[in-house]
Amino acid sequence: MDVLKRLFEQHFHSPVDSVQPVQGELGGSGRKIIRLTSKGASAIGILYGVREENVAFLEFSRHFRKHGLPVPEIYAEDLDQGAYLEQDLGDTSLFELLSENRKGEIIAPKVAEAYREVIATLPRFQIEAGRDLNYKLCYPRGSFDRQSISWDLNYFKYYFLRLAGIPFSEQALEDDFSRLTKFLLSAPRDYFLYRDFQSRNIMLPGGKPYFLDYQGGRKGALQYDVASLLYDAKADLPPDFRQQLLDHYLATLRNFIDIKPEAFMQHYYAYVYVRIMQALGAYGFRGFYERKVHFLQSVPYALKNLRWLLHNVKLPIALPTLLEAFHSMLASEKLQHLATDADNLVVRIVSFSFHRGLPKDESGNGGGFIFDGRNLPNPGREERFKALTGKDAPVIEYLNQQESVHQFLASVMSLIDASVSNYQQRGFKNLMVSFGCTGGQHRSVYLAEQVAKRLRGRSGVEVMVTHRELERMRAENSAAEKAAT
């Protein structure tokens, strides 16, 4: 953190007033993203230990800006410390604009226009800026070649199919993968492939799109990136809207190169499939393997896209085992259960100590409510309660006797109830409610448990409770016990 403050102060000639973690990656990249502000200045700081990936992002950013593309300005860097400072593009992504301005299949005109502007900018990355890009900087591969495709397909096989319990013949599936790879590589591949061109990586400061997270870019086919945007799982774009955007992309593409739509479409849906498989592999790894359950919320939307493809698209190559695996996925009770859960509003309730900073929201929703319980009577000041927590009966009884606690909870529940109802009506899937106190042991734990109790059983609501400091103390005690033995 100190290195980011130093870079900020050197660039802006002003001390940092506040530091706030930004969770824009859904916990999936390992990068620490931090907003630093002072009077009249703001920047995003990145801490990440992979030098090659940092170099790729920094040099690509400078290259794209030379071509007049809307990407963040790089303010300062210290590659030895794995740190750099970039332009703050705000908090509104294309995904958030879409989520807040749609009713089911009906998408607001301003969202449709934003998507059209985004899709029209894509060929400038792929062709205009891709012509003289230094592909030697690409990490981990310089092109979306046989090795890259193999990584993605095996990611899907081992971290999704295996962990979801979908049966398949190993050799027969490998044969299909081989045919699919050969077909993908028969498309023209002399363009910049952005790699993660999706709605959360497009910010809208002032309503205009800016682009992020192209550090995994490499040389490849045109079809991959447009497939990534249009089949972005949780964006859940309606098929008619997807087709309109694809037509707009193809029309724009003809301003840059001579390409026939039928030639482009010959390979397009194969790239749609491989992009969906790559995403499912990531969801499976983070969700099934690492137990970060919020990643699994995207699975039902990916399955919905697969269902549409299976009913509406015929590939020009035979992939019988792979298609059979897709059908098995759609019939899987385990995955159907995920689809049921995805319809719920997940309310994450967290207790914490203000001394240890605010809790991170890994859902990508931005943090939700943060309530300060330090104005309430503190059981921790009494010797009889010091070894107890807000989950223990004596502490609960003590706090239940305090009128100020009941008034506080009544006000809190009024706000939370209104948000839960509104979120459900608008189709939002995540709400975070955090309670802080001095030590994160008594009042915040009690408040979190009380609110969880009142929300459980409410239709369409799934409640998840985390007591951050209690979990930390439990882990420290466990480590001490192991060391003692």
Domain boundaries along the sequence of the chain: 2-87, 94-341, 344-484
Token digits for 323?
A: 């298609």
Domains 2-87 and 94-341 in one fold: no
Instruction: For residues 123-132, give the mean pLDDT.
Output: 98
pLDDT computed for residue 24 by the predictor: 46
Within its chain, how far is the Cα of 81 from the centroid? Answer: 25
CA nearest to 229, candidates 240, 237, 217: 237
- CATH level 2 (architecture), domain 2-87: 2-Layer Sandwich (3.30)
* CATH number for the domain running over 94-341: 3.90.1200.10
- pLDDT, tens digit, for every residue of 266-292? 999 999 999 999 999 999 999 899 887
- pLDDT value, residue 472: 87
Q: In this model, does residue 97 exceed pLDDT 50?
A: yes
Residue 427 backbone zone (phi > 0: left; psi -120 to 50: alpha; other: beta): left
14-23, 37-46, 276-285, 407-416, range with the lowest pLDDT: 14-23
Q: State mean pLDDT over 57-75.
A: 98
Q: Which of 25-29, 127-131, 155-159, 237-241 has the lowest mean pLDDT?
A: 25-29
Q: Count Cβ atoms within 10 A of the Cβ of residue 167 and give its class: 0-12 exposed, 13-18 middle, 19 or more buried.
A: exposed
Question: Residues of the chain with pLDDT > 70: what percent?
Answer: 96
pLDDT score recorded for residue 25: 39
Q: What is the pLDDT of residues 335-358, one digit of tens each?
A: 987 765 556 788 999 999 999 999
Percent pLDDT > 90 in the chain is 79
pLDDT value at residue 292 = 78
In tens, the pLDDT along 199-246 reads 999 999 999 999 999 999 999 999 999 999 999 998 999 999 999 999
Q: How many CB atoms lie within 10 A of CB 358?
A: 14
pLDDT above 90 for 125: yes
Predicted pLDDT of residue 59 = 98
Mean pLDDT, residues 428-453 taken together: 94
What is the distance in angstroms between the CA of the first residue and the CA of the last residue of the chain? 36
> Model's pTM, two decimal places?
0.73
Six-digit token pair at 272?
Answer: 């749609």
